[in-house]
Amino acid sequence: MKTPIIIDTDPGHDDALAIMFAVKSGIFDIKAITTVAGNSTIENTTRNARYILKLLNREDIPVYSGSAKPLVRELIKAVVHGESGLEGIDPKNESNLTNDAVDKIIKIVKENKDITLVTLGPLTNIARAIEKDKEAMKRVKQIVIMGGAIKVPGNKNRVAEFNIFVDPDAANIVFNFPIKKFLVPLDACNNVQLQLEDFEKLKGTNLFEPIVAMMKPYIQNIFKDEGIKAALMYDPLTVYYLFNPSVCNVKEYDIKIETKGELTRGMTVAELRNSQKDYNISVIETINGESFKKDFINTLRKYH
């Protein structure tokens, strides 16, 4: 049986690749894609999600737009994805905002057993759904979250990863909510780096041209912003954990979110001392990069 999932996302170059990977893998029953402001505005992230589904010829998958800004703060957009969120292809289609992601998440979770939530952006929509209907959200089987920096520096400030930094208040609600949680942090993602040559292997597929057009500015922007000359695969790796958990190392952690600090806004504060721990989340500490690359490229090459 296919795994029923909702993908909550803010595309974003790596979100776009993650959606492609999830769709092409054929192992998921994607009930909906819900969008959130993060890498870019809600208009842009929703437009981009629709564009990617069109490329995949899967416009039958519903897209529901959600939060235009974090729970209590102003939106701080990302740098590496450009103004449109998908620099390099800059989609021009309609966004068709529906403004009902939170209600749709609750509805899908109520109507289906064992939903897995895969979150690739700030956790605003999920936190709102929890606030609105706790009992319904307790039915969620598990949530797999791209976010956090446990033992490595942040990518947004010294200690925080972008998705958690943008809406720490939402992350705090989700981290405290009693459902099974998995976290794919920067620790697992930083070492998995793809180059343009890796995407050359997609030649002959209809995804080749748009992916190369997107990856060129993505790689340049990451180089300018972070000094790494590669395409980082945060969001595809998060989907990959569900695809092939056997190449991932997972450890239980007790993690709290910094919602007040000035220098530490959005820090995923792990209890690393030898004290009594109150485990609340399973952290994917490492993912085998070679397995990922092979499976990722082979999956994107597939025709369905």
**Least gap, CB of 143 to ligand BDR (angstroms):** 15
Residue 199 site contact among ligand BDR, Ca ion, none (CB < 5 to 8 Å, cut-off depends on kind)? none
Q: Tell me: cis bond preceding 12? Omega within 30 of 0 counts.
A: yes
- For residue 120, the minimal CB distance to ligand BDR (Å) is 5
Q: How far is the CB of 123 from ligand BDR (least distance, A)?
A: 11
Q: What, of ligand BDR, Ca ion, none, does residue 161 touch, CB below 5 to 8 Å by kind? A: ligand BDR
The residues of the shown chain that bind ligand BDR, judged by CB under 6 A, are 12, 14-15, 39, 78, 120-121, 146, 155, 161-163, 234-235
Owner of token pair 């209809």: 206
Judged by beta carbon, residue 25 or residue 45, the one nearer Ca ion is: 45
Select the binding partner of residue 162 from Ca ion, ligand BDR, none (C-beta < 5 to 8 A, by kind). ligand BDR
Give residue number: closest CB to ligand BDR.
162
Q: Which is nearer to ligand BDR, 14 or 167 (CB)?
A: 14
Give 133 or 241: the residue with its C-beta nearer to Ca ion: 241
Report the amino acid identity of residue 73. R
Which of ligand BDR, Ca ion, none does residue 78 bind (CB under 5 to 8 Å by kind)? ligand BDR
Non-local (6+) Cβ contacts of 286 within 8 A are 187, 188, 248, 249
Q: What angle do CA 155, 279, 233 make, to 5 degrees?
A: 30
Which of 192, 152, 212, 166 minimizes the C-alpha distance to 288?
192
**Residue 71 binds which entry of Ca ion, ligand BDR, none, CB below 5-8 Å type-dependent:** none
Q: Which residues contact 199 (CB under 8 A, 6 or more apart)?
A: 208, 211, 212, 215, 231, 297
Q: Write down the least CB distance from residue 176 to ligand BDR, Å.
A: 21
Strand extents, DSSP E, 10-166: 28-35, 63-65, 116-119, 142-146
Q: Which residue's CB is nearer to Ca ion, number 11 or number 210?
A: 11
Q: 155 contacts which partner out of ligand BDR, Ca ion, none, CB within 5 to 8 A by kind?
A: ligand BDR
Q: Identify the residue whose tokens are 């109520």.
A: 110
What residues are paired with 182 via a beta bridge?
144, 282
Positions touching Ca ion (CB under 5 A) are 10, 12, 15, 120-121, 235
Q: What span, in angstroms and rounded, lies between the C-alpha atoms of 222 and 201? A: 22
